[in-house]
Amino acid sequence: MKRSAFVAVFVTTNLAFVLLHIHKQSQIIKFSYEKQKIEAEKAQWCKQKQELTHQLHTIHDRTSVKQFAQNTLIKKLEPMKISQIKKIDEL
């Protein structure tokens, strides 16, 4: 009787270890896929950050500001009329 109980406990323990090992491997695979997904997302965010930084530097460039002012702002300006000029009294 003791021998059959030992065999049953031994087999059950080995089966539990096998199942735990399978569970561990599936968790490792699951986390590996999540890591790949997060790394891809991180790469996408880094690329977007780099593009936005490039746009920011382009916007702050003096030549592009001057060109924007000459091409768009001057076209919208109209000559000032005398009636628009107001005199400010000195105190």
Q: What is the CA radius of gyration of the chain?
A: 37
Per-residue pLDDT of the chain (91 residues; tens, 9 = 90+): 688 999 999 999 999 999 999 999 999 999 999 999 999 999 999 999 999 999 999 888 888 888 888 888 777 777 778 888 888 887 6
Cα gap 28→23, rounded to integer Å: 9
Structural domain boundaries in the chain: 7-65
3-state secondary structure of 64: helix
pTM score, whole prediction = 0.55
